[in-house]
Amino acid sequence: MQFDPDTDLGPYGEALGLEFKTVGGDEVTAIWSARPELHQPFGIVHGGAYCSVVETLASIGAALWYGDRGKVVGVSNTTDFYRAMSEGSLTSTATPVHRGRSSQVWVVETEDGDGRLVARGQVRLHNLEAPAS
């Protein structure tokens, strides 16, 4: 499997404004901004935006690692928020914790421009084996 962030992200992923730096089956890193379009009513980045970035990066990494064996689907996403952000650059990095026959677990950490942890999420994904042809 290959992934091209310019064509394969889809409209929802594009709305997050991710700029990919590393894309592979061992790590996915993207830079994005705490911009007003992602704010909740109190002027800080909505928790759902962090969850979406976590799910997106983990899914890309897991799919690239699983490759042509089939597809992966997220079954659990738990994201904790540590620092409120209203503006500035964010860097999110996804790395695997477990990669097995039927499932994978990836952790995604998001840091601000000063390297401080802003959010940390964990995604469990199920590996769906491609049908035999």
Is residue 55 annotated as a catalytic residue, yes or no? yes
Contacts of 26 (CB under 8 A, 6+ apart): 61, 65, 95, 96
CB 88 within 8 A of CB 113: yes
Token duo for residue 57: 């990066």
Pairing label, strands 70-81, 28-33: unpaired
Contacts of 125 (CB under 8 A, 6+ apart): 58, 59, 62, 72, 73, 74, 75, 103, 104, 105, 106
- Active-site residue, from 14, 27, 55, 87: 55
Closest CA to 126 of 96, 102, 107, 97: 102
Catalytic residues: 55
